[in-house]
Amino acid sequence: MNAINQNLLTDYLANDVVTNWLDKFSQSEDENLVCQRWLRQTPAKRLIFSELYGTLLDSKNRLRVLDVGGGLTAMTKVMASVHDYVLADLLAHDDLATARRLNEQVGKDFIRAQDWATLDAASYDLIIANDIFPNVDQRLEMFLDRFLPMTRRLRLSLTWYETPRYYMTRRIDADEIFCMLAWNGEHLASILKKFADRIEGADFQIFTNTSQSVYPNGRQVCLVDLRGDLAEATI
């Protein structure tokens, strides 16, 4: 359990492996992918990507992997080729035609354009959720309750704000407008403490001893690695 800070980012940028992967695996059309552009533009996102996905790109073992909301990048194709990899993503940033193209390039239908709550039950070695909870999806506790019994390991990047931040949003299934308040550290810690015995190196002081954000919008981010109910394995 680690908070992303300037020291970690400086250490990472001494060997920017994600930029190297992007340069190695990308085709020209991949540079149009929104998540790939974000990786190119944002060093902190590359640091987080390396922590969450690095073992999948380096692993010699074929793993059963579920990636929730991971988006589309050049590395998506690599992970789907090397592992039994499923990407559950609503494709808010890219369209179904792009997803079909990636499926065709890999030679299998690995992208599920659906909400994680509607996925069929399955067993995984590793589940990843990157930059989804709770800034995009506030169902963090529901997600952990549902998927910890289905996996060996679960890795998350989690976002919070110490300065109040809110968004005016419109429901897609009704004529209503909501004001959504982003979570602060106290709120996020209150949920994670329910799973403290599963968290590797649990340290809830990171939610009170926050350092200067490495993002222009002031967000705070931590990485959390949890043990699932399935038999333990080295990943």
94 has a pLDDT exceeding 90 = no
* Average model confidence (pLDDT) across the chain: 94
Query: Exposed, middle or buried by CB within 10 Å (0-12, 13-18, 19+), for 129?
Result: buried
Express the helix, strand and coil content of the chain in percent, nearest 5 each: 40, 20, 35
| Eight-class DSSP state of 197 | G
Mean pLDDT of 184-197: 97
Mean pLDDT of 171-196: 95
pLDDT digits (tens, 9 = 90+) for 121-148: 999 999 999 999 999 999 999 999 999 9
Mean pLDDT of 29-46: 96
232 has a pLDDT exceeding 80 = no
Helix (H) or strand (E) holding 87: strand 84-88
pLDDT score at 234 = 58
Q: Which amino acid is at 232?
A: E
Domains contained in the chain, CATH given = 2-227 (3.40.50.150)
Which residue matches tokens 């709550």? 117
pLDDT digits (tens, 9 = 90+) for 52-80: 999 998 888 899 999 999 999 999 999 99
CA distance 219 to 43: 14
CA distance 163 to 64: 38
State the pLDDT confidence band at 50, using cuts at 50, 70 and 90: very high
Question: Cβ(54)–Cβ(223) under 8 Å?
Answer: no
